[in-house]
Chain A
């Protein structure tokens, strides 16, 4: 299957990735080839086969009680934040 430039634009937007003009043709080409390649799966006989949801048979996601186990370390964690004020993460204005 061949993807178009507008397909790549749409996928990049959904993935929240800005691509440069120079990058786009390479992605049109390589993503088309990858989608073709994974298209081989179509030939597999999978009628009645359960999709595999966990790599270990018979195991499901473990749950725990909803209790506070961690201490508040937000100041420590915010040291890696690009922009913080008064303990809050700053982003560009969302509501005009």
Chain B
């Protein structure tokens, strides 16, 4: 039997192969760099490829592997979402505003993964400032779905998901404010994890909505996610909302039995908006869980249907404050020949931000403005409390909640760009976890007309180990996560 080609391996498989010296990190890195270059005209998944630096880092990793000083991730390549600051490397956040921004420092997540010996292949494309659900708002052009290039990859971490699905990177970092890890993972048929709010440092992760943003991962398997999450999770004094709670060994409990696990089916997740063909795949996945010993219980989250309107008050409000820092003075785009300071601000921002980002800044400005603050912002924060309580109540009856990640599979490019509300409703099943600060995952569970369907798992705060265990056990019974698009086989 011939050895499995490099790109067909999971990150865990690559790490094992590197340890056994079946191949070198330089060979692995070169293989992925070649695949990135070949895919770029079709997928546009990368904004910046750091080939030379990657090969140099791979050579260092090989020396460590040779001298027996390697850690579990030494020499494994991956890609970073272009929202994470990388010292000395272009960090654009998918925006014209930061098209020339070379970060002067590393995000904590980037530094931790580098210190763990991983090799950065480059920076992947994304919706501008992570605002979008289709990767069509990027200043650097849309990313396309490797399963069908007429379709979107989802967003905002569309580059991360497409890169992993096409095996042009074995894993990628990502961020999730309203579903930006889970929804593209679902639409591209890969595994995504959004940890608990505060689990992964936000330092150096360009802020969109600070009470919702959380960094995480897109990988090929729950096992890969467990390995990487252990490296990026943990307290960081540089993030004021980072939580100081121990990081368990997520790989240690992957194989635990699911006997007696109470899986909650949230009634509101199986609403009339859910594509019947997707629902059939979700129900089939639930049958696998029953076979594994889990028990299904119906739970009710009556306020959950208000999660999208709540989000579209809270997130734009926070975005309008966070993006006030882009003023054309200290960094970022500056307009030509400003007449005065107001003109400098207005034209630099008007030219530097794309249409969706401006829409969200204005929505946020409106809901925070005098006379509207109580009616919109304060009201939304009260409803957010109700949604949060619904989840807390659900977790008295269930250990994890399982349902669809997205109401529909990947949709055609351009089909939802005319009406922002239609686009916003893509995140109807994912936003709740962000509002309540809960961890969530999406794992592949089947196909509809050749397009992947994602199964969402949501757990109580800091239950990542349990979620990963549930995801891993499903992935040992099924091989949806190992399917790959024919064009990238």
Contact = CB atoms under 8 A, between A and B. Distances in A.
Interface stretch (B57-65, B164-172, B327-335): B327-335
B367 A81 contact: no
A38 B363 CA distance: 10
Given A41-B376, A55-B197, A82-B329, A12 B104 contact: no
A23 B341 CA distance: 23
A17 B211 contact: no
Interface residues of B, number: 75
B312 A17 contact: no
B237 interface: yes
Interface in B432-486: 434-437, 461
A46 B358 contact: no
Given A12-B362, A41-B313, A76-B104, A46 B306 contact: no
A44 B350 CA distance: 36
A34 to B, nearest CB: 5
Nearest to A84: B330
Given A38-B376, A41-B309, A56-B437, A31 B366 contact: yes
B50 interface: no
Contact of B343 (A40, A56, A62, A92): A92
A29 B436 CA distance: 31
B197 A33 contact: no
Contacts, number: 177
A49 B386 contact: yes
Contacts of A30: 359, 419-420
A64 B241 CA distance: 12
B240 interface: yes
Given A16-B346, A44-B303, A82-B334, 13 more contacts: A23-B358, A30-B359, A33-B419, A39-B309, A42-B379, A44-B379, A49-B382, A62-B240, A64-B237, A89-B329, A91-B329, A91-B341, A91-B344
Interface of A: 8, 11-20, 23, 26-27, 30-31, 33-35, 37-42, 44, 46, 49-57, 59, 61-62, 64, 73, 76-83, 89, 91-94
14 contacts: A16-B349, A17-B362, A27-B362, A30-B359, A31-B363, A34-B421, A37-B308, A37-B424, A38-B312, A41-B376, A50-B382, A61-B240, A80-B330, A91-B341
